[in-house]
Chain A
Amino acid sequence: MAHHGEHHYNLDQRFDFTASIKKSILTVLVLGTILLGIGVILAISSGHNEEGAEAGVHVFHWYERLYASLWVNNVFFTGIAIIGVFFFAIQFAAQAGWSAPILRVMLSLGSWLPIAGILMLSTFFVANHDLFHWTHSYLFDTTDPQYDKIIDGKGAFFYWPMEKGTFPVFYIARMVIFFGFWVFFFNKFKQISEQEDQLGGSTHWYKMRSWSAFFLVFFAISSSISAWDWVMSIDTHWFSTLFGWYVFASWFVSGLSAITLIVLFLKGKGYLEMVNENHVHDLGKFVFGFSIFWTYLWFSQFLLIYYANIPEETVYFVERLSSEVYGPFVFVNLGLNFFLPFLVLMTRDSKRHGVFLKLVCTILLVGHWIDFTLMVQPGILGHNGGVGLMELGMFLVYGSAATFTVLGALSKKNLIAKNHPLLEESYNHHI
């Protein structure tokens, strides 16, 4: 309705992180830990250890699967966290008004970033040889029988300015710089938003726009490079020129799903009264649209490789599609991340009602986690991968820890940026 009535919303509302909510999250955490524990015990006792020992190429150890699982969740949840900050910045760069009451929800996802950075860096230092083939120094030694000319050619991307095969300075520096700047921008946004709460006026909005623009430029580059570094470099020989976008799309859908779920959760608890079905509709459109965008990139990557049929490229899909372990997941991946959101969220009503969105967004989070599992596992584990109790347990542990951090951050400040100049516009948002 175009009637511009008076609005009386409580703008000083804070999210009450009650003991019962904490308890349910901790229950999931405990459940995840138990599953993870059982999974680890099963993996140790399953006797995979001896497999391949005769061949003398590579002996599989149970902990490689644990590391791979850690890495999947490091990358996946880092993505959700940075997408929160990214989507926040997009709202300012696009001068969007509709999203004003849910800006803090987006930004709160970023509170996982510092923890994600520490986890990723430590996982890398513990598990580098088991996760990344290129960390082995013999690949760069021309006298070694396992010398690899192709990886040697790519070596500078990891080791510059040090000698190849020693310490990956360039790689580590990129990881530190990306996380450092992401956390810096996240804190900057938070700080400007808090100042706006106290002082009001439109100067903070303009300030936020400039900072958002800087962040978006940085993010455009860093998101792409982090996808090569953290995911694509696992399959060291292989490369795909749209891989950065592909990972970004997967992150974006997951992040949007997380934002939508938190908004619906808060609304269910009686917060965010000004957020009505029109705002929810917009979030639903983003989830719907970017699920199709993800599919577009997935298929673009697949079709060109499939059609050109060049062995060094097709190996990526051969490893996945013709594997008994991963083959079914490729189709599960497409089913959950494309067909389901496409068909369910096609109608207007399903985007406006929380029930459908809650269902689809939850499934999408699992679906894109499977997508990352499919990107990471085959290159590290070969045919020893899969989604078992260990993987599910790790997913629940990371998921509950990240949820706890994000909700904790949300509860510390007002839920709504009460002096945001476009709040009035968002009250009257109608589509």
Chain B
Amino acid sequence: MERDTHFILGVYDDEDVLLHAVEKVRGSGVKIHEVYSPYPVHGLEHVLGYKRSKLPIAAFLFGMLGISLALTMQYYMMEFDWPMIIGGKDYGAFPDFVPVSFEMTVLLAAFGMVGVFLITSNLKPWAQPRIFDLRSTDDKHVMAIDLATNSSLDLGKIKEILTESGATEVNNKSFE
């Protein structure tokens, strides 16, 4: 009957307690689904064991795409589509292309990064966010533990670990 509850939430008052709690909870073999906090807690992703974001790689690739597109576009325009003599230079004079290439690199890197971030973070406009505890937008840190990924552990044991780690409340939460 108790396994019907999908999540167990540990609610914390203090960020230092939270950081140690994350270490303790993970140390006792409980897998943490996510931690919600009202503001960015320094070092949280480190204790949660998150790997470094791969976003810079996306930025680099989109930047490369930007510079390639810009150079191709300008070279095609100036050399084939509509050759013009500007300032007595060759049609395909490379230095002329640098400012536009730079801007296109920055533009596509930025757009690409934002796009990849929105997609990987599941931030599509029609996404239904799951709110575990509204107070995590106010003054509480909330640690969510998914029971499905912790099926080998006893429910009471998990609650005990959370209380021992300094949680002021331990609640159940399930979604439709």
Contact = CB atoms under 8 A, between A and B. Distances in A.
Interface in B65-119: 87-88, 95-96, 98-99
Nearest to B99: A303
Contacts of A302: 95
A410 B98 CA distance: 44
B42 A307 contact: no
A372 to B, nearest CB: 23
19 contacts: A1-B43, A1-B46, A1-B47, A2-B19, A2-B43, A3-B16, A3-B19, A3-B43, A303-B95, A303-B98, A303-B99, A307-B87, A307-B95, A308-B87, A309-B88, A346-B60, A347-B56, A430-B42, A430-B43
A218 interface: no
Interface of A: 1-3, 299, 302-303, 306-309, 346-348, 430
Interface of B: 15-16, 19, 41-43, 46-47, 52, 56, 60, 87-88, 95-96, 98-99
A1 B47 CA distance: 8
A430 B43 CA distance: 9
Contacts of A347: 56
A336 B46 CA distance: 36
B128 to A, nearest CB: 33
A342 B16 CA distance: 38
Contacts of B99: 303
B105 to A, nearest CB: 12
A2 B41 contact: yes
A363 to B, nearest CB: 22
A121 B145 CA distance: 72
Given A308-B87, A347-B56, 20 more contacts: A1-B43, A1-B46, A1-B47, A2-B15, A2-B16, A2-B41, A3-B16, A3-B43, A302-B95, A303-B95, A303-B98, A303-B99, A306-B95, A307-B87, A307-B95, A307-B96, A309-B87, A348-B52, A348-B56, A430-B43
Contacts of B46: 1
A327 to B, nearest CB: 15
Contacts of B95: 302-303, 306-307
Top-4 shortest CB links A-B: A2-B43, A2-B42, A1-B43, A309-B87
A1 B16 CA distance: 11
A307 B89 CA distance: 8
Nearest to A303: B95
Contacts of B42: 2, 430
A302 B56 CA distance: 31
Contacts of A348: 52, 56
Contacts of B87: 307-309
A30 B19 CA distance: 57
A182 B41 CA distance: 43
Nearest to A306: B95
B24 to A, nearest CB: 14
A308 to B, nearest CB: 7
Given A2-B19, A3-B19, A309-B88, A299 B43 contact: no
A309 B87 CA distance: 7
